Amino acid sequence: MFKDRTDAGIQLAGKLQRFAKENVVVLAIPRGGLPLGAIVAKTLQAPLDVALSKKIGHPHNKEFAIGAVSLDDIILSNLPQIDASYIARETEHIRQKLRERFDQYHKNSSPLDLRDKTVIIVDDGVATGNTIKITAQMVHKKQPKKVVVAIPVAPIGAIKSMEASKYIDKVIFLESPYNFRAVGQFYNDFKEISDETAVELLETTRRGFNP
């Protein structure tokens, strides 16, 4: 159990010290991943940016991910047939939100160059791994040296799924509980991060970065 995202970020940063001498870029998945990403970036003296991708929810249960979408990619789980028109509508709806987020998070800066970097993708936890996998696939197109996923908590099935991805070189995690229902059950404080707070965290961390 983690006290909050700050506690999880500090513990996660401790396990990432091995990358301190590498040319690192930290990519946080907004919004919940940003408090952790900011701590990891400060600890490793690395720049911070955001990875813009979002899950597609099942038509009968929006919390259950059937895939994930980025601005230019889509990954779907191997599930029984789901209506293609639903997928198309959800994909366009999600991409509109991602375009709005892109404008928010990069209002005062451009996305970081990931070529030949060790890219560490950080989130506050993982349920299925779909969002992380599409993020890694998106990052892979930018020709990084390696892609590392760093998360506090995930079920073992999601960890194995991420480890099997050809776009992910290493998965680092703190806990893989057997009785996993949702990420929030492993935090005492799991309140939602607002867009304003997330943008402020990103910009404050960027201003404090001194290469």
Q: Is residue 74 part of a domain?
A: no
Residue 36 DSSP SS3: helix
Q: Is residue 40 part of a domain?
A: yes
- What b/e sequence results for 33-62 when a residue is b if at least 16 CB atoms lie within 10 Å of its CB, and e otherwise? bbbbbbbbbbbbebbbbbbbbbbbebeeee
What does the angle CA 18 – CA 21 – CA 23 come to, to the nearest 5 degrees?
110
Q: Is residue 155 part of a domain?
A: yes
pLDDT tens-place string over residues 57-116: 889 888 777 888 888 888 887 766 788 899 999 999 999 999 999 999 998 888 999 999
Query: What is the spatial distance between Cα 164 and Cα 129, in angstroms, rounded to a whole number?
Result: 11
Q: What is the pTM of this model?
A: 0.89
DSSP annotation of 18 reads G
Q: Which residue has the higher pLDDT, 211 or 97?
A: 97
Q: Are 97 and 121 in contact (CB under 8 A)?
A: no
Q: Is residue 60 part of a domain?
A: no
- Phi, psi torsion values for 160, nearest 5 degrees: -65, -40
Q: Is residue 92 part of a domain?
A: no
pLDDT at 12: 98
Residue 8 DSSP SS3: helix
Q: Is residue 148 part of a domain?
A: yes
Specify the CATH number for the domain of residue 32: 3.40.50.2020
pLDDT at 80: 66
Q: Are 145 and 116 in contact (CB under 8 A)?
A: yes
- Phi, psi torsion values for 199, nearest 5 degrees: -65, -40
* Burial class of residue 193, CB neighbours in 10 A (0-12, 13-18, 19+): middle
Percentage of the chain lying above the pLDDT 90 cut: 73
**Does residue 15 have a pLDDT over 80?**
yes
Q: Is residue 107 part of a domain?
A: no
Q: Are 99 and 71 in contact (CB under 8 A)?
A: yes
What does the angle CA 159 – CA 162 – CA 190 come to, to the nearest 5 degrees?
60
Reported confidence tier of residue 190, pLDDT bands at 50, 70, 90: very high
Q: Are 3 and 152 in contact (CB under 8 A)?
A: no
Range of the domain at 193: 5-52+112-208
Structural domain tally of the chain?
1
Q: Is residue 103 part of a domain?
A: no
pLDDT tens-place string over residues 17-65: 999 999 999 999 999 999 999 999 999 999 999 999 888 888 988 877 7
